[in-house]
């Protein structure tokens, strides 16, 4: 066998293995979509048709939207993740700037405390925070879903690392131009940190869109449920064994983030990779 033939064979083998692996990894998604198009008898027949033989797409999706407030869940998920992100940035940007660029007493202690908070798993404060929210009557509110996450040690640390790389001259130039200090922070420094902010945004939105632990604790009514919380509400009660409608619901809930990923892959991957720093 010639060398080049051997190499080509290896190449084909590699692609065969990768193609099979990709198919296996994507199969749950493919199967979810496929099932969401099928009639119940076809699903129950146990036949494994990738392309449905009898289509019931409209019925299944209509049922998913009709029996379960799935669009409401999506709206809640959007409101909660967007509000958390906005607050996190509003709090983290000035704090990170103070850590990276200002000289003050207490800076080292503040940084040390941030690093300490970075180690605390987000489930650890849950019981006392719940008690606090319960005491002030805030259970089953957007506030309960959002406020506990407004402080992100990870966001502050990440932005501080980024701000450190911004040259001081940029800030001095702003001062010489007569800009106010807050204008320098929000209009000069913050736009420069756009890549870090976008990466953090991806990380934060994915984390909070997907979070089940906290919504399970503070939300007991479907009106306020985020998608994961909503699925737990309705999975068994409403659908029973109507897998077609149930898969339609999972498709609807899964679609937005998947589309976002396909549209902005690079940033998405960067954001996720950065979350490795937190663990």
Partner 1 sequence: MRERLARLEQRRAWLYAAPATVLMLVFVLLPITAVTAISLTDWQLGARDFSFQGITNYVEMFRDRVFWKSLGNTFAYVAYYVPASIVLALALAIAVEASGPLRGFYRTAFFLPVATTFVAMAVVWEFMLHPDLGLVTIALTAIGLPKENWLGMPDTVLMALAAIGIWLRLGFYMVLFIAGLRSIPRELYEAAAVDGASTPWRRFRLVTWPMLAPTTLFVAVIALIQSFQVFETVAVLTRGGPSKSSEVLLYTMYTEAFTFLRTAYASSITVVFMLIVFAITIVKTRLLEPRIHYK
Site string for partner 1, 135-164 (x = CB under 8 A): ------------xxxxx-x--x-------x
Please, what sign has the CA dihedral across residues 18, 19, 25, 26? positive
Shortest distance, CB of residue 55 to partner 1, whole angstroms? 19
Q: How far is CA 167 from CA 8, 188, 242, in A?
A: 51, 11, 60
Q: Which of positions 193-252 make contact with partner 1 (CB under 8 A)? A: 206, 209-210, 212-213, 216-217, 227-228, 231-232, 235, 243, 246-247, 249-250
Q: Which of 128, 137, 167, 191 binds partner 1 (CB under 8 A)?
A: 128
Q: Tokens standing for 7? A: 């190499």
Q: Which of 58, 120, 170, 183 binds partner 1 (CB under 8 A)?
A: 120
Is residue 1 involved in binding partner 1 (CB under 8 A)? no
Shortest distance, CB of residue 35 to partner 1, whole angstroms? 7
Q: Rounded to the nearest 5°, which phi and psi values hold at 175?
A: -65, -45
In sequence order, the 6+-apart residues with CB closer than 8 A to the CB of 231 are 73, 249, 250, 253
Q: Which of positions 30-49 make contact with partner 1 (CB under 8 A)? A: 31-32, 35, 43-44, 46, 48
Burial readout 31-51 (b: 16 or more C-beta within 10 A, e: otherwise): eebbbbbbbbebbeeeeeeee
Query: How far apart (Å, rounded) are the C-alpha atoms in residues 8 and 39?
Result: 45
Q: Which of 28, 66, 195, 240 binds partner 1 (CB under 8 A)?
A: 28
Q: Which of positions 69-88 make contact with partner 1 (CB under 8 A)? A: none
């Amino acid at each position: 066998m010639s060398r080049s033939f051997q190499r080509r064979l290896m190449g084909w083998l590699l692609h065969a293995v990768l193609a099979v692996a990709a198919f296996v990894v994507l199969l749950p998604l493919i199967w979810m979509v496929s099932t969401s198009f099928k009639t119940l008898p076809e699903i129950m027949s146990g036949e494994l048709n990738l392309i449905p033989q009898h289509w019931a797409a409209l019925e299944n999706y209509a049922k998913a939207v009709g029996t379960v407030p799935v669009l409401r869940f999506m709206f809640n998920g959007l409101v909660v993740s967007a509000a958390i992100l906005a607050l996190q940035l509003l709090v983290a940007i000035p704090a990170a700037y103070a850590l990276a660029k200002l000289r003050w007493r207490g800076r080292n202690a503040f940084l040390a405390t941030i690093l300490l908070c970075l180690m605390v798993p987000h489930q650890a404060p849950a019981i006392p925070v719940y008690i606090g929210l319960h005491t002030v009557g805030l259970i089953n509110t957007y506030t309960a879903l959002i406020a506990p996450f407004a402080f992100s040690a990870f966001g502050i640390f990440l932005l501080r690392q980024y701000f450190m790389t911004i040259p001081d001259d940029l800030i001095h130039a702003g001062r010489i131009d007569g800009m106010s200090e807050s204008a320098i922070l929000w209009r000069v420094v913050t736009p420069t940190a756009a890549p870090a902010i976008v990466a953090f945004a991806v990380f934060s939105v994915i984390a909070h869109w997907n979070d089940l632990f906290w919504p399970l604790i503070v939300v007991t009514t479907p009106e306020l449920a985020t998608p994961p919380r909503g699925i737990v509400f309705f999975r068994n009660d409403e659908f029973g064994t109507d897998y077609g409608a149930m898969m339609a619901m999972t498709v609807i809930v899964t679609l937005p983030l998947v589309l976002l990923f396909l549209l902005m892959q690079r940033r998405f991957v960067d954001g996720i990779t950065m979350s490795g720093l937190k663990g």
